[in-house]
């Protein structure tokens, strides 16, 4: 596996990573992703983003917590023709329980690609996010054995996942928005139970970012996600 800033995570790695951060960034806090993955055992697709904004921007304690991120509007538009379906009445927040129940019902997992990171500029910008510890797919994939497709919500998450592959792939060959590629992930652990486990032939799809900073109208984002979920048999 290629090094993002460290190797595949372990408890000792987190300590050594902290001590090895350069003087330039030592005063910058290493943050751990605050939300646990949502892993329905019947999931056939898994959504994979990067890191949430700082907690002062949260409208709920759940994935994509910023009210002004369009993720849950997109899901409402795709599945219910109502971008406010997951909104709590006229409040500026979404209902995390309703979202979680929906994901379990539809077999859609949500797992960040980044476990630990440094916000170099103190905000949620992927461009200025330094990955310290990436997701451990050896731990995640066995919990969602029916997953056949991973889909990212932007370029940084796509880059992190591709860096977990054994074979290097130049950025020029990374999938662009609304494109896909084969994702031949190989186990990184020597655990015999993992090496004996057969992983489905995975496909990696890159979908549009749901951030308001991404220059695409909401209806076009809804259309892109609808096309993906139709292809995945979710609609």
Domains of the chain, CATH where assigned: 35-231 (3.40.470.10)
For residue 24, what are the β-bridge partners? Answer: none
Segment 97-151, tens digit of pLDDT = 999 999 999 999 999 999 999 988 776 677 778 999 999 999 999 999 999 999 9
- pLDDT of residue 6 exceeding 50, the answer is no
Higher pLDDT residue, 52 or 8? 52
The rounded mean pLDDT for the chain is: 86
Segment 66-93, tens digit of pLDDT = 999 999 999 999 999 999 999 999 999 9
pLDDT for res 195: 63
Summarize the confidence of residues 154-182 as an average pLDDT: 91
Name the pLDDT band for 168 (thresholds 50, 70, 90).
confident
Segment 18-33, tens digit of pLDDT = 444 443 444 478 999 9
* Separation of alpha carbons 83 and 28, rounded Å: 37
| Residues above pLDDT 70, as percent of the chain | 83
pLDDT for res 161: 96
Name the pLDDT band for 5 (thresholds 50, 70, 90).
very low
Name the pLDDT band for 192 (thresholds 50, 70, 90).
low
Residues 6+ apart with CB under 8 A from 232: 44, 45, 149
Secondary element (H or E) of residue 203: strand 202-206
| DSSP states of 162-192 | HTTSSS---GGGS--TTEEEEE-----S--H
> Across the chain, how many H-helices and E-strands are there?
7, 8
pLDDT for res 194: 65
- pLDDT of residue 63 exceeding 90, the answer is yes
Segment 194-220, tens digit of pLDDT = 665 555 689 999 999 999 989 999 999
CA atoms within 13 A on the CB side of 20: 10
First to last CA, the chain: 36
């Amino acid at each position: 596996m290629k090094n993002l800033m460290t190797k595949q995570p372990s408890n000792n790695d987190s300590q050594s990573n902290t001590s090895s951060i350069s003087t330039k960034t030592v005063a910058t806090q290493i943050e751990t992703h605050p939300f646990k993955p949502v892993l329905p055992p019947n999931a056939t697709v898994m959504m994979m983003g990067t890191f949430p904004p700082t907690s002062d921007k949260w409208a709920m304690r759940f994935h994509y917590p910023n009210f002004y991120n369009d993720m849950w509007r997109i899901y409402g538009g795709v599945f219910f023709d109502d971008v406010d379906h997951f909104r709590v009445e006229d409040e500026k927040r979404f209902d995390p329980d309703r979202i979680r129940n929906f994901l379990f019902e539809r077999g859609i997992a949500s797992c960040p690609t980044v476990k630990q990171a440094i916000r170099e500029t103190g905000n949620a910008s992927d461009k200025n996010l330094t990955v310290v510890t990436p997701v451990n797919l050896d731990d995640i994939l066995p919990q969602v054995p029916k997953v056949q497709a991973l889909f990212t919500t932007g370029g940084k998450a796509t880059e992190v996942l591709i860096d977990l592959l054994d074979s290097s792939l130049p950025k020029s060959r990374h999938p662009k928005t609304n494109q896909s590629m084969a994702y031949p992930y190989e186990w990184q652990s020597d655990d015999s139970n993992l090496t004996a486990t057969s992983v489905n032939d995975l496909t990696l799809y890159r979908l549009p970012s749901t951030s308001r900073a991404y220059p695409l109208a909401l209806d076009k984002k809804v259309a892109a996600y609808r096309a993906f979920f139709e292809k995945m048999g979710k609609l």
